Amino acid sequence: MSGRLDDIMARGVVSAADGTKKMRAVQVRLLADEVRDDLEHVEPYGFTSEPKDDEQPEAFALFFGGDRSHGIVFCVADRRFRLKNLKPGEVALYDDLGQKIYLTRDGIVIETPGELTATVAKNATVTVGGDLSAEVAGDATLKASSVKLDTPATTLTGTLTVQGLITGQGGMAISGGSGASVTGDLTTTGDVKAGSISLKTHTHTEQGDGAETSGPH
């Protein structure tokens, strides 16, 4: 009976892999130094991975009816890169570069030493019940036809440079620093005051005869 099972099930290492086929083909070196070519590597729908072919990934094969010319590989494992110390119920995707998508008990952790690219053909919606924080070591660029910030308050801790027109509908208040400086003309439909002195209604006493001047016009 044990000999029969040995013919049906076998364990070995992956020495070559061809992922260009509709069903990946692998070459497996079995434990008795038996080499089997073009074994189909069966994967679940919606998931695929390309194993390394340095005879370190472990392959688990089935041979139907014990026929060693008719077999499949139903699992490939690589203990060198498997994430350890997961809690019961947790799930993770990982690779040999240290990249991972880790479904922890507290949330989802995504890590990569390279680039992260997301492409969405239609709309994208993100709903956050708590705070949202993003820390970028380099520059950040947002390119859109328009941007709307629907918030009662916005704080910028650094300088602000605007290359186009600024339109304010709720007024403007400036305090601190060196005040406000305008290079070019300044046009207003209302009054301009320096302290309590109005540009529209200000009069002053002439030094010669002491008469009051008329207001600006």
Task: Let me know how long the chain is.
Answer: 217
pLDDT in tens, 40-53: 999 999 999 999 99
Q: How many CB atoms lie within 10 A of CB 11?
A: 12
Q: What phi and psi, each to the nearest 5 degrees, are found at residue 8?
A: -80, -40
- Structural domains present in the chain: 2-77 (2.40.50), 81-116 (no CATH)
Q: Are 57 and 36 in contact (CB under 8 A)?
A: no
Question: Residue written as tokens 């010319």?
Answer: 69
Per-residue confidence at 215, pLDDT binned at 50, 70, 90?
low
Strand partners for 9: 62
Q: What is the pTM of this model?
A: 0.77
pLDDT in tens, 113-166: 999 999 999 999 999 999 999 999 999 999 999 999 999 999 999 999 999 998
DSSP 22-47: SS-EEEEEETTS-EEEEEEE---TT-
Task: Estimate to the nearest angstrom the gap between the alpha carbon of 148 and the chain centroid.
Answer: 21
Question: Strand 91-94 vs strand 100-103: parallel, antiparallel, or unpaired?
Answer: antiparallel
3-state secondary structure of 120: coil
Cβ-based neighbours of 114, under 8 Å, separated by 6 or more = 97, 99
